[in-house]
Amino acid sequence: MQSLRPNGRKSISYAKYGYLFILPFFIVYVFFMIYPLINTFRLSFFGNGNANADTFVGLQNFKYILVGGSRPAKAIHEEFIRSLKNTVILWVGNFIPQIILSLLLAVWFTDSRVKVKGTGFFKVVMYMPNIITATSVCGLFLILFGNSKYGAVNAMLLDMGTIAEPFKFVNTVTSSRVIVMFIQTWMWFGNTMILLMSGIMGIDLSLFEAASIDGASSGQVFFKITLPLLKPIFLYVLITSMIGGLQMFDIPYLFHEGSGASAIQTHLETAAVFVYKHFHLIDPNYGYSAAASVLLFFITGILGLLVYRFNTSSDDRAAAKSNKKKSKHAGLL
Amino acid sequence: MKNFKKKIALLAALACAGTMLAGCNSDDTTSDDASADATTAAADNSGAAEETTTMNAEEQAAANEAAAVELADDGDKLTILCWTGADLDNMIPLFCEEKGYSADQVTWVQVGTSGGEAREQYQQYLAGDEDADILILEADWILGYLNDQYTVPLSSLGIDASAYSEAYPYTVAIGTDENGILRGASWQAAAGGYVYRTDLAEQYLGVTSPEQMQEKIGDWDKFQEAAKTVSEASGGKTAMTATLGGMWQVYQANRTQPWVKDNKLVLDNAENFLDIAKTFRDNKYETGVTQWSDAWFAVGQDDSTMGYFFSTWCLAKGAQLEQAEGGEGGATYGKYNICVGPSNYFWGGSWLAPSAKCDNKTMAADFINFFTTNKDTMQKYAEKSGDFVNNKAAMQAIVDAGSNSNALLGGQDQFAVLIDAAAGINMDGLITAYDSSIKDSFNNAVTKYVDGEYATKEDALNGFQDDVATKYPDLNWD
């Protein structure tokens, strides 16, 4: 390039302004994301309780959480395993109904033959629960399903004579889990539906036309055209939902009566709640919290990779490889 | 290109996962160093508290004197950290009026909405640059703050420990740090009693006066007996008490040992309480609602409960009792009376402690003296607010004058009932820095036991100890 300019003047580089413009973001990112992230790893090697927050303990926290040992270690181990189990139960229980519902609605709303009227209205209404803060939603459900006879549902059932005693919706294992799953589904199906709809609308219309000309039934269209072509979006929804599910926090944390860290329901205590709970004790266990976060980070990463691998066929990967080779080759030329 | 997009999506997804870690980390830097010393110091408190009592008065005075810290006196405003602004709105005008300060010289900062939140957020507030002259602290977690990091000895303000001869002894014990230095003083004596429905008591127990009621429920056996009578007479409709949590607050007053002794968890009478709790739940002697919930207030109006265990601060205007009565004109307004109940006990209370950042020495001293040592001004405050102040002479004077009549209690004078109970509270050596956490775990274990989530008492005790073990792995658990 320089040879084109005989007077030797270098071209003006505008790149540095670009860097300047994005600098604020990176400063904020380093302070609020990178540093805490690294510090979490660091903290996971340090002791618990205020007195030992600065004592290096090596891998002890991980050992206690994963293996157990003496009474406190065993208790923390059991608590962590229980919290993982709760996380999986709550996630599966809200993901399956959520994806079925969203897929069904997305297909209906985009189908040119069904022509649902007022899709805009329905989209807004169905997305609405996602706009309300989790705290308000949880407060609402706590009022509806309150443990005592003053809870709305209990009052109704008592009035109708269906039950003789108030049912403890909040404290009973099954009912509280089902309610939390329902809340999660209800809050997120609109969001998933919109994602899937955008995926379906991205599919070439001529494929649907060709299918209907060939006389395909709507079932065939769905399974042979919509689903396979929806896979990338589907994969995205699955992975983001899984990550969100592993971090599920607000509703399980809030859905209890009474106050104090111990009042959080043991059968609703997800991994993220575990982390928060131990972080906010009077004598905070930073070590356990940090170690659990690190574990959760790896679990999320591994699961993400696995799902990604299972859902991309070996052909795709081979194609990707050869693409890479090709481009390398091209680069050399 | 398609694959590239997928990878970007995956990367984005993993980045989201990364941020999850970040969230866990936000405030450790502000609080770990700060509170480290606090709890180490408090950890071996149980022994220290005994030490306090063995020190003779002279030694103690000397120790207090020696511990005094030089404070600045050039701050522009007296700033009080609290979580109960309503109290201070009552206190500050009286203080300013009597002492000749202008109202804008004293201000309060609400830090959190409950004692628990305040406990956590004070550390963050104090780590910053803002002014703080006086901290309001709660018995359950006060020990974490009674050290050089956060507070200075009261002697730094020129307030001598001997000024508290008329205070209720348990409040002085709680305000004393592990070295026997007085760092906080309560303006309230939060003695509690059993507040019951007079109409239901007459109907089911045939009692017509608080004295007769006290006869009926004077100890735990009698209390249970009365619960049985009420339950049978009302056909199971009326319970004796609103919550087990409230009952535990009273029952724990019978403890003879602190929760943590020699670095070990001490169960003491915890097991007995599980039995009582189970009996009360199974026979519906308690309503089954959750403490402080909306339902908890509602049972006060529909004959679901005979009464509540209320502390003095629940009986003030606008406080818990009034809400339980449905407010003025409510279904049960003024239909309650108070008696001591099965045990003397205290519940809560607020301690004033000069902050380590105090820069208004004179005013802070004035304020603390005004509400904790000066009999006349304390009496004035009690008469104005209905608070049970921490001064025996002042309370005696009010009771003798017979001037106090609480409309919520149908005109009864709660001070007359509680004055002996307050004097009977002994907390020497029973307070530890672990209390609020451990109580929290225990109340929860009780709830799970009576709900049937723990099948046996052993399960409940084990679950309780496990819960405490995860909170305090460094106690001795062998």
- The shortest CB-CB distance from B294 to any of A49, A150, A235 is to A150
Q: How many domains does chain B have?
A: 2
Instruction: Judge contact between B63 and A73, C-beta under 8 A.
Output: no
Identify the band that residue B25 occupies on the pLDDT scale cut at 50, 70 and 90. very low
Closest B-chain CA to A248:
B20
- DSSP for B116-130 reads HHHHHHHHHHHHSS-
Closest B-chain CA to A71:
B477
For residue A259, give Cα distances in angstroms to A263, B286, B451, B465.
6, 19, 17, 19
| Pair type for strands B264-265 and B260-261 | antiparallel
Q: Which region among A21-25, B43-47, B281-285, B420-424 has the lowest average model confidence (pLDDT)?
A: B43-47
Indicate which of A262, A299, A314, A323 best probes the interface with B, i.e. most B CBs within 10 Å of its own CB.
Answer: A262
Closest A-chain CA to B447:
A263
Q: What are the tens digits of pLDDT across the range A51-104?
A: 788 889 999 999 999 998 888 899 999 999 999 999 999 999 999 999 999 999
What residues form DSSP beta bridges with B354?
B134
Closest Cα of chain A to B188: distance in Å?
24
Q: Cα angle vertex B298, ends B296, B302, to 5°?
A: 125
My answer on whether B234 and B181 are in the same domain is no
- CB distance A301–B466 less than 8 Å? no
| Residue B211: per-residue pLDDT | 92
My answer on whether B65 and B173 are in the same domain is yes
Instruction: Judge contact between B401 and B168, C-beta under 8 A.
Output: no
- CB distance B465–A71 less than 8 Å? yes
For residue A169, give Cα distances in angstroms to A148, A177, B292, B448, B454.
9, 9, 18, 14, 17
My answer on whether B202 and B101 are in the same domain is no
Q: Which region among A138-147, B42-51, B244-253 has the lowest average model confidence (pLDDT)?
A: B42-51
Q: What are the tens digits of pLDDT across the range B264-297?
A: 999 988 999 999 999 999 999 999 888 888 889 9
My answer on whether B121 and B138 are in the same domain is yes
User: What's the CA gap between A49 and A41, in Å, rounded?
Assistant: 17
Q: What are the tens digits of pLDDT across the range A285-332?
A: 899 999 999 999 999 999 888 888 877 766 666 766 676 666 555 544
Q: Provide the domain limits for residue A195.
A: 81-133+171-314
The predicted model gives B334-349 an average pLDDT of 90
The pLDDT mean for chain A works out to 87
Residue B63 has pLDDT above 90, yes or no: no
CATH number of the domain to which B254 belongs? 3.40.190.10
Q: Provide the domain limits for residue B325.
A: 191-347+427-471
Q: What are the tens digits of pLDDT across the range B433-464?
A: 888 889 888 988 998 899 888 999 999 999 99
- CB distance A50–B36 less than 8 Å? yes
Q: How many domains does chain A have?
A: 1
In-domain check, residue B143: yes
In-domain check, residue A178: yes
Q: Which region among B46-50, B188-192, B203-207, B296-300 has the lowest average model confidence (pLDDT)?
A: B46-50
My answer on whether B182 and B209 are in the same domain is no
In-domain check, residue B418: no
**Burial class, B289, CB count within 10 angstroms (exposed 0-12 / middle 13-18 / buried 19+):** buried
| Residue B59: per-residue pLDDT | 76
- CB distance B290–A148 less than 8 Å? yes
Instruction: Judge contact between B32 and A54, C-beta under 8 A.
Output: yes
Domain boundary among B384, B401, B418: B401
My answer on whether B364 and B339 are in the same domain is no
My answer on whether B366 and B270 are in the same domain is no
Residue B43 has pLDDT above 50, yes or no: no
Closest B-chain CA to A301:
B14
My answer on whether B173 and B50 are in the same domain is yes
Instruction: Judge contact between B282 and B356, C-beta under 8 A.
Output: no
Closest Cα of chain A to B326: distance in Å?
15
In-domain check, residue B411: no
Residue B350 has pLDDT above 80, yes or no: yes
In-domain check, residue A64: no
CATH number of the domain to which A121 belongs? 1.10.3720.10
B452: left (phi over 0), alpha (psi -120 to 50) or beta: left
A173: which chain B residues are within 8 Å (Cβ-Cβ)?
453
Q: What are the tens digits of pLDDT across the range B106-124?
A: 999 998 877 878 888 898 8
| Residue A6: per-residue pLDDT | 55
Indicate which of B3, B4, B24 best probes the interface with A, i.e. most A CBs within 10 Å of its own CB.
Answer: B24
Which 3 state secondary structure label does DSSP give B255? coil
In-domain check, residue A264: yes
Closest A-chain CA to B37:
A51
My answer on whether B385 and B338 are in the same domain is no
The predicted model gives B363-384 an average pLDDT of 92
A263: which chain B residues are within 8 Å (Cβ-Cβ)?
440, 444
The predicted model gives B1-24 an average pLDDT of 49
- The shortest CB-CB distance from A262 to any of B17, B288, B467 is to B467
Instruction: Judge contact between A286 and A53, C-beta under 8 A.
Output: yes
Q: Cα angle vertex B153, ends B434, B160, to 5°?
A: 120
| Residue A189: per-residue pLDDT | 93
Of the candidates B298, B194, B227, the one whose C-alpha atom is nearest the C-alpha of residue A166 is B298
DSSP code for B458: H
Indicate which of A148, A177, A279 best probes the interface with B, i.e. most B CBs within 10 Å of its own CB.
Answer: A148
Size of interface A-B (CB pairs under 8 A): 211
Return the HEC string of chain A. CHHHCCCCCCCCCCHHHHHHHHHHHHHHHHHHHHHHHHHHHHHCCECCCHHHCCCECCCHHHHHHHCCCCHHHHHHHHHHHHHHHHHHHHHHHHHHHHHHHHHHHHHHHHCCCCCCCCHHHHHHHHHHHHHCCHHHHHHHHHHHCCCCCCCHHHHHHHHHCCCCCCCCCCCCHHHHHHHHHHHHHHHHHHHHHHHHHHHHHCCCHHHHHHHHHCCCCHHHHHHHHHHHHHHHHHHHHHHHHHHHHHCCCHHHHHCCCCCCHHHCCHHHCCHHHHHHHHHCCCCCCHHHHHHHHHHHHHHHHHHHHHHHHHHCCHHHHHHHHHHHHHHHHHHHC
Q: What is the ipTM of this complex?
A: 0.79
User: What's the CA gap between B23 and A237, in Å, rounded?
Assistant: 23
Torsion of CA B230, B231, B235, B237, to 10 degrees: 100
| Residue B26: per-residue pLDDT | 39
Residue B4 has pLDDT above 60, yes or no: no
Residues 6+ apart with CB under 8 A from B380: B94, B98
Residue B179 has pLDDT above 60, yes or no: yes
Which 3 state secondary structure label does DSSP give B112? coil
| Residue B412: per-residue pLDDT | 92
| Residue A232: per-residue pLDDT | 86
| Residue A4: per-residue pLDDT | 52
Q: What are the tens digits of pLDDT across the range A160-206?
A: 988 888 898 998 899 999 999 999 999 999 999 999 999 999 998 89
The predicted model gives B205-218 an average pLDDT of 92
B245: which chain A residues are within 8 Å (Cβ-Cβ)?
258
Indicate which of B44, B237, B447, B470 best probes the interface with A, i.e. most A CBs within 10 Å of its own CB.
Answer: B470
What percent of chain B clears pLDDT 90, i.e. is strictly above it?
44
The pLDDT mean for chain B works out to 84
Amino acid type, A300: T
Residue B199 has pLDDT above 80, yes or no: yes
My answer on whether B198 and B278 are in the same domain is yes
My answer on whether B323 and B393 are in the same domain is no
